[in-house]
């Protein structure tokens, strides 16, 4: 670039000198010619200097911008890959309530529960609850959930959770809190918990829990009994779920990723990013999910979507679906010492998905 400027400057000086001589003729003053040539030279050097400054500033700005973008992306990716542990997982559904029930289910040794008919249609219900009213059934599920948790903890103490997320009605939360007060007198729960919002809540939990703070805990729970309906493709189901999340536990999970049908990004690309988020080079061997006939891209996701379909064991669990599949994926990852994927509907997106790994797995 500098050579071109020097060549152009020399040419302009010569042209200026020749032009001045031609127009002034034989009487031209050599000093005038040299002055014209000098002015052209100075002007050319000035232009060259300005262009060099502009080029240097442009390069500097571009380099600074790329560095800032890379740093922001690095910080975003660091936060996006933050993980937390599940210390406790409690799961109650039509197919069982004990850990042994879910291990048999994951090995495909558990028999699917029998469908029953209610006034509105087919249902799958938890056998230990006998009320026909869904509100009362949800309250019973909430109390069962606490008692099952107490049984699984086997007397181990823990501090009051710093945050609570709930999926269900306010009335059922009050039933849950009442049973918690009776079963764990030292534990204090808020009057109004935060609402469970799927992948967004997983993101909040991952951002909140400090890996170095061993005393911080987050409680996630939910109960739902879906009323019977005649037009549904699946029978109406019901379930109860509880997690105690913290910095220590048998399994680790990240916030996961979300997929929107209207976005340009394919589901396969989202699944690959979830693998990178969990530091995996390949898709997990197992994936827990319900069927999603409206999502045709699932077949091309690259994940195993046929071996662990849950429809016949749970029916339609509506807003509790993600909590159920993540819980089963956590139990699978712990029992098999292998990463396990999960895919579920999300309150804010078409699908959410992620991977759970045994703690210490690389």
Q: Which two tokens stand for residue 79?
A: 């936060």
Q: What is the pTM of this model?
A: 0.82
DSSP state of 127: T
Q: What is the chain's pLDDT, residue by residue, as a tens digit (362 residues)?
A: 555 655 555 555 555 555 555 555 545 455 555 665 566 666 666 776 677 777 777 777 777 777 776 767 677 667 778 899 999 999 999 999 999 999 999 999 988 999 988 888 899 999 877 788 889 999 999 999 999 999 999 888 888 999 999 999 999 999 999 999 999 999 999 999 999 999 999 999 999 997 766 788 999 999 999 998 867 778 999 999 999 999 888 899 988 999 988 878 899 999 999 999 998 999 999 999 999 988 888 988 899 999 999 999 999 999 999 999 999 999 999 999 999 999 999 999 999 999 999 987 65
Distance CA 224, CA 245 (A): 21
Distance CA 233, CA 210 (A): 42
Give the residue among 104, 190, 94, 191 at the shortest CA–CA distance from 137: 94
pLDDT digits (tens, 9 = 90+) for 160-188: 999 999 999 999 999 999 999 999 999 99
Query: Residues 12-24, buried b or exposed e (16+ Cβ, 10 A)?
Result: bbeebbeebeeee
- Please report where in the chains the tokens 């045709």 appear, as a residue: 296
Give the residue among 329, 323, 361, 321 at the shortest CA–CA distance from 345: 321
């Amino acid at each position: 670039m500098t050579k071109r400027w020097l060549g152009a400057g020399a040419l302009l000086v010569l042209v200026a000198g020749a032009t001045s001589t031609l127009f002034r003729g034989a009487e031209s003053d050599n000093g005038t010619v040299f002055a014209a040539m000098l002015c052209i030279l100075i002007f050319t050097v000035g232009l060259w200097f300005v262009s060099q400054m502009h080029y240097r500033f442009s390069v500097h700005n571009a380099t600074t911008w790329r560095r800032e973008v890379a740093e922001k992306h690095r910080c975003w990716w660091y936060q996006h890959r933050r993980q937390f542990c599940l210390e406790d997982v409690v799961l109650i559904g039509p197919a069982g309530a004990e850990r042994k029930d879910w291990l048999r289910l994951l090995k495909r040794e558990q028999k699917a529960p029998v469908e029953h008919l209610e006034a509105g249609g087919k249902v799958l219900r938890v056998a230990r609850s006998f009320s026909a009213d869904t509100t009362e059934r949800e309250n019973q599920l909430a109390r069962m959930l606490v008692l099952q948790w107490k049984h699984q903890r086997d007397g181990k103490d823990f501090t009051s959770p710093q945050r609570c997320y709930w999926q269900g009605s306010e009335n059922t939360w009050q039933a849950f809190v009442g049973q918690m007060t009776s079963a764990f007198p030292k534990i204090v729960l808020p009057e109004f918990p935060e609402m469970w919002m799927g992948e967004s809540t997983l993101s909040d939990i991952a951002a909140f829990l400090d890996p170095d703070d061993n005393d911080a805990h987050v409680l996630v729970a939910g109960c739902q009994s879906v009323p019977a309906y005649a037009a549904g493709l699946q029978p109406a189901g019901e379930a109860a779920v509880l997690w105690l999340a913290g910095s220590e536990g048998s399994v680790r999970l990240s916030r996961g990723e979300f997929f929107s049908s209207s976005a340009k990004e394919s589901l396969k690309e989202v699944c690959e990013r979830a693998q990178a988020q969990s530091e995996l080079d390949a898709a997990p061997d197992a994936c827990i999910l319900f069927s999603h006939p409206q999502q045709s891209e699932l077949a091309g996701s690259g994940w195993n979507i046929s071996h662990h379909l849950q429809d016949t064991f749970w029916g339609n669990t509506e807003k509790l679906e993600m909590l159920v599949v993540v819980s089963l994926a956590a139990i699978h990852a712990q029992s098999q010492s292998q990463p396990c994927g999960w895919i579920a509907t999300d309150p804010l997106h078409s699908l959410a998905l992620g991977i759970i790994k045994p703690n210490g797995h690389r």
